[in-house]
Amino acid sequence: MGQSPISISFNPSFLSGTASSHRGGSRLLKVSVLTLAIAGLQGCGPNIDDARLKKSQDENVELKKQIALLTQERDSISKERNDLKDQVKKLSQTPGNLMGELTALVNQGKIDEAQKALGVLQFEFPKSPESAQAYRLVTELRAKIEKQQEQARQLEALGFKALKPSSLTDTNAVKVTMSAPTLAKQFVFDRYDGYYHFRTADRDTKFVVANLSATAKKGVTDPELPGYAIYRPDGKTLRKIADFSVEFSRWGDYGSYLGNHHDTGNDFAKTSTITFAIGAQVTDEYLGTKPLYIVSTAGGCMKRRYDRFSNPPVSYSGYCSELADVLSQDDLAKLTLVRRID
């Protein structure tokens, strides 16, 4: 197949009757037969190629059919999976689950997303207690945001004088109320049996002092206390001039002050409310640039610590990063303005 044709010469002596002619004719006959066989093979070549091509084409068609069926099956399985996901999602949308999602959004201050979640809850479970509770949460969040926006507008117009102090700092673990601050040359704390300890202010300075009444919330036995600092206005910012130290206001007796025996009155695991004394030393120069602002963190940062060789062995201290050296109006919105000293 595909070979070049063989050229054959005709010998007229084949037709003569001589012996030599017979021998030549025999050879010629063989060549002729071979030529005819080769021609026959060459003639069948295209038919074999066509058959193979047709078989390959048929196989391709069958393969495409199988691919189409597999693709259809895959799409069907994918649709079924998506339908099952939708069913699981719908079944998981109980009032409790939806309420949990909405509460998380409210805690993050995401009013738009919380409003959408409220719409789903009211549509799916309009008469459920969770629907009414969710409505209250979203309404309160919206009112809080509107109040903050109004406060920001007032701050823009009036500065920090527009802020209204609140003596209460309410964290997740404890509620702390600050008394009205006073100026004093001595910061007094750790009272017991008619005695007390104190720090005396440096020359040209005074202590800003106050009492804290801290009440731990139900189930909380070791809460962190909020931190406190005092600031002065500086243009559109507040600049910190001192941090407050936190001390116990009093002890049951001298022995409990020394740590010889436990004072249940200064342990949140034993009593819900403890009184603390706080003080910050401020220069007379800053005290003359009123108003001054006492700011607290919104969460806890002052931790209870124990050192057997200290008097008293129990104390509260910590680093409150939220009370930065300089606060903007936006920073102040995340804190609590406790008191203003006019």
Number of domains in the chain: 3
Greatest Cα pair distance, the chain, in angstroms, is 162
- 48-59, pLDDT tens digit by residue? 677 888 788 888
Are residues 178 and 320 both part of a single domain?
yes
- 210-227, pLDDT tens digit by residue? 999 999 999 999 999 999
Quick check: 112 pLDDT over 90?
yes
Where would I find the H helices in the chain? 19-92, 95-107, 111-124, 129-158, 254-258, 284-287, 329-332
Is 7 domain-assigned?
no
Tokens 């093979």, located at residue: 41
Q: Rounded mean pLDDT of the chain?
A: 85
110, exposed or middle or buried, with CB in 10 Å at 0-12, 13-18, 19+? middle
Quick check: 114 pLDDT over 80?
yes
Average pLDDT over residues 199-207: 97
pLDDT reported for residue 89: 62
Are residues 209 and 235 both part of a single domain?
yes
* Domain span including residue 80: 12-90
Q: Would you place residue 21 in the very low, low, confident or very high pLDDT band (cuts 50, 70, 90)? A: very low
Are residues 337 and 218 both part of a single domain?
yes
Q: Which of 73, 90, 107 is the last residue of a domain?
A: 90
Average pLDDT over residues 276-299: 94
Average pLDDT over residues 305-311: 93
Rounded to 5 degrees, φ, ψ at 16 are -80, 170
pLDDT reported for residue 35: 54
Q: Which of 152, 172, 195 is the last residue of a domain?
A: 152
Token pair recorded at residue 195: 């005695």
Q: Are 230 and 208 in contact (CB under 8 A)?
A: yes
Quick check: 276 pLDDT over 90?
yes
CA distance 191 to 222: 22
Which residues in 188-226 are b (16+ Cβ under 10 Å) and which e? bbbbbeeeebeeebeeebbbbbbbbbbebeeebeebbbb
Are residues 147 and 285 both part of a single domain?
no
Average pLDDT over residues 167-176: 94
Are residues 24 and 148 both part of a single domain?
no
Higher-pLDDT residue of 161, 257: 257
5, exposed or middle or buried, with CB in 10 Å at 0-12, 13-18, 19+? exposed
Average pLDDT over residues 243-251: 97
Quick check: 336 pLDDT over 50?
yes
- 57-88, pLDDT tens digit by residue? 888 888 888 898 888 888 888 887 887 776 66
Is 200 domain-assigned?
yes
Average pLDDT over residues 249-278: 96
